[in-house]
Structures are given as C-alpha cells and as structure tokens.
C-alpha cells in the first residue's frame, strides 16, 4: 500500500496480511500477534459500526435504534485511537503506523475517538486505491462529462 519512513526505520505497509506480519516481525519483532489481535478486534468493531454508518441520524431518537444501541460497546467511548492501538502493539512507532489515519479526520491520534481505529482496519482489509495523477483528475474528468 505504502511505505512509512521514520528516522531509523522503514515500514512497508501492506494489505496482504501475511506480508504485513512478516514486515512487523522484521521491523518490530514480537508484535506479530498484536497484528492478529488488531485484525480480529477491529473487524468486530467494523461489523457492528458499518450498519450504523448506513443510517440517517436526523433526529435524536435515531440513536435509539437497536442497531446503534448494540454498537455502543464497540465505540470505546472512553478511549482514543492511540490507546486502543497500545493494546495491540508495544512499540511506539508501530502504533504510529496504524494511527496516522486520524489525520484524515483532522485529529491527533491522542485525541481521536477509538471508534475510528476501524479506518486502519479497512485499509488493511481492502487496501487503498489512489487516483493516477492525483485527486484533481476526478474533477477534470467530471468537467468533461
């Protein structure tokens, strides 16, 4: 998917789970099982949260739907992304490898709600697609239509 460069380490991030585990073992030995836990727990969070993301919330009573109420325990309301990733990984740079997605939301990993840890899971599950030539190519193509 991409490569992260730290001052003394380089991490090649992959959506191929076996490649990612091998990379974690190479760069952050002993944290491979944390990656397995990350995939398992964040999959559970995603599976509970995804149906909620497909609903509209135009009134306060919308939050009382059973699908939302069942998802509440998976929100980890009292934690941040960084805190959640600390339960999977014991190396700070490895945690940062899985937290920078909070920047997509304009937040720091130390402030971003834990529920958004599923963004990193989504990237690792399905990968990332980039527009060849940059996002401006979408606007340019739409202008032609």
Percent of the chain with pLDDT over 70: 100
Domain count along the chain = 1
Segment 46-75, tens digit of pLDDT: 999 999 889 888 999 988 999 989 988 888
Angle between the 32-53 and 66-75 helix axes, to the nearest 10 degrees?
150
**Domain limits for position 31:** 2-144
Greatest alpha-carbon pair distance for the chain in Å reads 52
Identify the H or E element spanning 2. Answer: strand 2-5
Question: What pLDDT digit, counting tens, does each position of 102-143 carry?
Answer: 888 888 999 999 888 888 888 888 887 778 888 888 899 999
3-state secondary structure of 140: helix
14 — alpha (psi -120 to 50), left (phi > 0) or beta?
Answer: beta
Q: Give the chain's mean pLDDT.
A: 90
CA angle 127, 143, 133 (to 5 degrees): 40
Predicted pLDDT of residue 38: 94
pLDDT band at residue 87 using 50, 70 and 90 as cut-offs:
very high
């Amino acid at each position: 998917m991409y490569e992260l460069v730290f001052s003394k380490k380089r991490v090649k991030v992959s959506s191929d789970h076996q490649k990612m585990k091998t990379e974690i073992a190479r760069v952050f030995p002993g944290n491979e099982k944390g990656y397995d836990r990350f995939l398992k727990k964040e999959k559970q969070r995603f599976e509970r949260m995804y149906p909620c993301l497909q609903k509209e919330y135009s009134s306060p009573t919308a939050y009382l739907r059973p699908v939302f109420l069942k998802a509440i325990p998976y929100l980890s309301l009292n934690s941040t992304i960084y805190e959640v990733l600390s339960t999977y990984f014991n190396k700070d740079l490895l945690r940062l490898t899985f937290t920078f997605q909070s920047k997509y939301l304009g937040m720091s990993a130390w402030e971003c709600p834990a529920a958004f840890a599923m963004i990193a899971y989504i990237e690792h599950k399905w990968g990332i697609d980039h527009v060849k030539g940059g996002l401006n190519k979408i606007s340019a193509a739409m202008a032609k239509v």
